Each structure stands twice: as structure tokens, then as C-alpha cells.
Amino acid sequence: MWTDPYIREHIVYAHLEPDDDDGTKPYAQVLAETAFWVKRFGAQGKVLDLGCGPGIYLRELAQKGWQGYGIDLNESAVSYAQDLNRDECLSFDIRSGDFLAEAWPPGMDLVIMVYGTFGTIPPKSRQHLVQKLKNTLKPGGRFLMDVFNQEYVDTQREIGSWFTQEEEGFWSPEPHLVLPRVWDYPDLDLLCRRYLVLSSGGVKSFNLWYQTLNHKNLLEYFSPTDWEINPWPDLSGESSRSLPGWSSFCVRRIS
């Protein structure tokens, strides 16, 4: 979905809606989170945003004095962020690519993966990601993430029925038929929402993966000898902002 040339453009616009939570969190929440990180971790440092989208978090952190790096699959989002960077004379460095395959810059104080992305990548790739994290974070550096918990994944079990669209819509620029279906894998705590999109251009399949994660199963990826996992009430540090269905973690590299 993030690489489809048509859909990826729509996703950028979804990210930029300041009051919606379709592509990223509402802007007030982004402000609260980034302000808290700066207060907690200092006014300067190096941050890598994995799955940075159009650079909403990097922009805030760059304005607050941090040196930012970002990687995202969505070329349209990256191109938007590069324009923003240039137009606002910011100095973050952002490129398109798969963060599992790309080399990451070394010496980071902070790595962030915001809005559920950790739960969308396959378990084996998560192990690879943690190895890369160890190489990129300074000792004492932090990895911040939020993940879907059971409450959130349960809300994704219901899906609408098939529908047709006579003109352009989210899934396609042409008239199309959408066949949605949920695949549940309870033994793996995994759910897939699959959308089959049929148009005169052919059939496309889009899979949205939701893995239930909690403190206990994160220990499978972050060994206690190398990492300290601290649950946070919310990435803004404020329990009053904590959303049902989401769990937030600050993982510190010990050695």
C-alpha cells in the first residue's frame, strides 16, 4: 500500500490533516510528544525516524534543535519531506527505501518508530531490526515506539462488506470494486485486513497486518542483557493522553 503509486499520494494527504488520526496522530499530540522527548533527553541530539512518512516528527525535532535522519518506503512522502526541509531551511536528512535493507547512520541518541509500525513488520524482520538498532544507537540511547495492544487489534476484526466506486476513490483512480476480508491467526496473535481491488487495470491486493504486542512479548526481541524496556503511559509521557488500544515503550540500550 505504501509503495502503490496512486495510494501513496493519498496517504501523504491523510498525514497532513492536523486533526485526523488516519495517517499519523493529530498535530497536538505530535507537539506534546516531541516537547516531552526534548525535555527528557535534552535540547540537542541525533534522531533517526524509521517509517518517517512526510517528516512530521522530524520537522518538530529539527525546529527544536535535533539533527534528524529518516527513512520511508513511500516515495511521495519522502519527496514532500525533502521539499519541506528545503523550504523551511531545516537540516534533516531523509531518504526513500526499506529501513530493513538500508544502512542506518551511526551514533544516534534516539530512534523513533511511531504509530504502530513495529507491529506491522514480520517477527523475523523485527529481530533483524533490533540488531540494527544496537549498531546505530549509542550506549544509553533510546528507542521509542508505540504498538497495537489486544484492545486495538480486537477493533480491527469487523470489516465492511464489498462496495463499488464509480469514480476515483482512496483505492483507485478508476471505477472499481473493493472486496474486504479479515484473516485471523489467533495462535500468532495476528490479524490481517485484506482489500482486493478490481478495476479495468487488473486486481490488486493490499494486506494490512496487526500484531498484538505487549511488554512480555517484546522481551523476545529485546534481550534484558542488552536492553531495558520501560512502558510509558503515552509517548507524550502524560497518562491523560493515553489512548485505549495503544501501548508505548521507551527501550534503552544498556551495553
Ligand X SMILES: C[S@@+](CC[C@H](N)C(=O)[O-])C[C@H]1O[C@@H](n2cnc3c(N)ncnc32)[C@H](O)[C@@H]1O
CA dihedral for 121, 122, 127, 132, sign (positive or negative): negative
User: How far apart are CB 120 and ligand X at their closest, in Å?
Assistant: 6
Instruction: Please tell me the distance from the alpha carbon of residue 49 to that of residue 55, in angstroms, as a whole number.
Output: 8
Among 47, 61, 77, 137, binds ligand X (CB under 6 A): 77
Does position 74 interact with ligand X (CB under 6 A)? The reply is: yes
Helices 75-87 & 56-63 angle (0-180, nearest 10): 20
Residues binding ligand X: what is the number (CB under 6 A)?
20
| Residue number with CB closer to ligand X (125 or 164) | 125
Residue 51 sits in the site that holds ligand X (CB under 6 A): yes
- For the window 110-149, what string marks contact with ligand X as x by the rule CB under 6 A? ----xxxx--------------------------------
Which residue of 71, 110, 191, 251 would you call a contact of ligand X, by CB under 6 A? 71
CB 182 within 8 A of CB 193: yes
x/- mask, ligand X, residues 6-35, rule CB under 6 A, reads ---------x--------x-----------
Separation CA 96–CA 83 (nearest Å): 14
The distance of closest approach from Cβ of residue 254 to ligand X in the complex, given in angstroms and rounded to an integer, is 25
Give alpha helix (H) positions in 158-241: 215-218
Question: Of all residues in the chain, what percent are helix, strand and coil, respectively (each to 5)?
Answer: 30, 30, 35
Position of cell 473493493?
A: 178
Residues numbered 88 to 107 that lie near ligand X (CB under 6 A) are 98-100
Q: Give 99 or 210: the residue with its C-beta nearer to ligand X.
A: 99
Beta strand segments in the chain, E: 46-50, 67-72, 93-96, 108-113, 137-148, 163-165, 176-185, 190-199, 202-211, 227-232, 246-253
**What does the DSSP 8-state code read for residue 85?**
H
Q: Tell me which amino acid residue 179 is.
A: L
Q: Is 248 in the site for ligand X (CB under 6 A)?
A: no
69 interacts with ligand X by CB under 6 A: no
Q: Work out which of 56, 81, 94, 108 binds ligand X, going by CB under 6 A.
A: 56
The CB-of-200 to ligand X minimum distance in angstroms stands at 27
Tell me: does residue 2 bind ligand X (CB under 6 A): yes
Spatial separation of the C-alpha atoms in residues 84 and 56, rounded to whole Å: 10
Q: Figure out which of the listed residues 34, 48, 53, 212 binds ligand X, where binding follows CB under 6 A.
A: 53
Q: Which residues bind ligand X (CB under 6 A)?
A: 2, 15, 24, 51-53, 56-57, 71-74, 77, 98-100, 114-117
